[in-house]
Amino acid sequence: QVQLVESGGGLVQAGGSLRLSCAASGRIFSSYAMGWFRQAPGQEREFVGTITPSGGATIYAPSVKGRFTISRDNAKNTVYLQMNSLGPEETAVYYCAADPDYRVRTDPKFVPYWGKGTLVTVSS
């Protein structure tokens, strides 16, 4: 069982940056792939990116590649999402995800562990 708690959401102007954090419980954090999803009002939850258990590889959705960076600190049981050049259309609740596999799958139906989310609002 993994429990995830996101933090770092808030209000940011378009073009700005924000860093989200996700703290995980449990001693086996380093064996889990971690990921981020987001869900805008009235829309489906969408994949943002994932990082392998060691942190050696990342995969991003095309819409965020080059602007968002996922990293992790296994000593602190924490994964981060650095978001740059944010646009108003990226206003959403951002969710942390975990999977005891080498990556978090892009379809949210197959994600076994979720945080409760943190709201990011990008003003125009």
pLDDT digits (tens, 9 = 90+) for 12-63: 999 999 999 999 997 689 999 999 999 999 999 999 999 999 999 999 999 9
From 38, 122, 42, 41, select the one nearest 84 (Cα to Cα).
122
More confident residue, 1 or 85: 85
pLDDT for res 97: 98
Q: Angle at CA 18, nearest 5°, toward 70 and 85?
A: 90
C-alpha to C-alpha distance for 120 and 36, rounded to whole angstroms: 13
C-alpha to C-alpha distance for 70 and 78, rounded to whole angstroms: 11
pLDDT for res 28: 86
pLDDT tens string 65-119: 999 999 999 999 999 999 999 999 999 999 999 999 999 999 999 999 999 999 9
pLDDT for res 1: 81
